[in-house]
């Protein structure tokens, strides 16, 4: 449930930041989650599958007239926090492998949200360009704006990348890689790793069609090394 907050958030008022719970943004955020859940459900296998994972079936998006927020109704799930992320690694690998090549382009049918950050999802046929222009660039612009406001020194590498320079090295990292899009969860962090009846649940997505390394890198960035190793053990076990 998202309800309006008084005043603006303390985050920079960049193009890709939003009032966290203004009425319009509350509806847009939950609608994006609803569409993302439906997309993920296409690739959740039957209960007897070796790599079954649970994706809640959205019931309805409710727009609240007062105080003006919105609510996304989902089925009740008896959720528990996992001690190990191996099963979630298997689930994400299953999502990636089942959806690989099912889209010809990178992007999504609409913008999605990772926290308060709007993720632009204009369709494109080149992953490096999509990642550069619709993922890295907005973050770099926000970092530059924050640095200017606080008189923080920004390194030359950040300034160069913010000017769309220095991306040949990024492109080189993907040479020889399978560049077909797969469906990404897009918001893999500790709060979204849960179990229901011992099965991994994929919820609260910021879905898009992209390169699988995006999901994997997010886990490596946000999780402790031991948890990341557990996740990758399940991920690689499914991919073999």
Q: 123: which residues sit within 8 A by CB, 6+ positions away?
A: 105, 106, 107
Residue 186 belongs to some domain of the structure: yes
Residue 177 belongs to some domain of the structure: yes
- Give residue-wise pLDDT tens across range 27-64: 899 999 999 999 999 998 755 566 679 999 999 999 88
**DSSP for 198-210, written as a single string:** TEEE--S---EEE
- Give residue-wise pLDDT tens across range 171-200: 888 888 899 999 999 999 999 999 999 999
Domain, as residue range, for 112: 23-239
pTM of the full structure: 0.85
Let me know: does 53 contact 95? Beta carbons within 8 Å.
yes
Here the CATH number for the domain that contains residue 155 is 3.90.1200.10
Question: 10: how many CB neighbours lie within 10 A of its CB?
Answer: 6
Residue 4 belongs to some domain of the structure: no
Walking along the chain (240 residues) 10 residues at a time, the average pLDDT comes out as: 41 48 80 97 73 89 78 93 96 96 96 92 95 88 80 66 66 88 97 94 97 96 96 91
**Domain count along the chain:** 1
Let me know: does 81 contact 193? Beta carbons within 8 Å.
yes
The backbone torsions φ and ψ at residue 124, rounded to the nearest 5 degrees and listed phi first, read -150, 160
* Residue 100 DSSP SS3: coil
């Amino acid at each position: 449930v998202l309800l309006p907050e008084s005043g603006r958030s303390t985050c920079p008022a960049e193009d890709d930041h939003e009032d966290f719970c203004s009425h319009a943004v509350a509806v847009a955020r939950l609608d994006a989650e609803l569409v993302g859940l439906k997309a993920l459900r296409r690739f959740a296998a039957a209960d007897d599958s070796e790599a079954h994972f649970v994706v809640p079936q959205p019931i309805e998006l409710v727009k609240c007239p007062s105080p003006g927020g919105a609510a996304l109704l989902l089925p009740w799930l008896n959720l528990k926090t996992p001690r190990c992320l191996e099963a979630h690694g298997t689930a994400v690998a299953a999502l990636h492998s089942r959806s690989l090549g099912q889209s010809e382009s990178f992007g999504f049918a609409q913008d999605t949200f990772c926290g308060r950050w709007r993720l632009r999802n204009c369709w494109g046929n080149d992953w490096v360009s999509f990642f550069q222009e619709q993922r890295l660039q907005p973050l770099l612009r926000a970092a530059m704006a924050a640095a200017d406001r606080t008189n923080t020194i920004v390194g030359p590498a950040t300034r160069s990348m913010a000017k769309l320079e220095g991306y040949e090295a990024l492109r080189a990292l993907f040479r020889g890689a399978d560049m077909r899009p797969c469906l990404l969860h897009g918001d893999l962090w500790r709060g979204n790793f849960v179990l229901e009846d011992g099965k991994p649940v994929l919820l609260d997505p910021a879905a898009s069609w992209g390169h699988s390394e995006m999901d994997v890198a997010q886990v490596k960035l946000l999780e402790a090394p031991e948890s990341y190793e557990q996740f990758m053990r399940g991920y690689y076990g499914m991919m073999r």
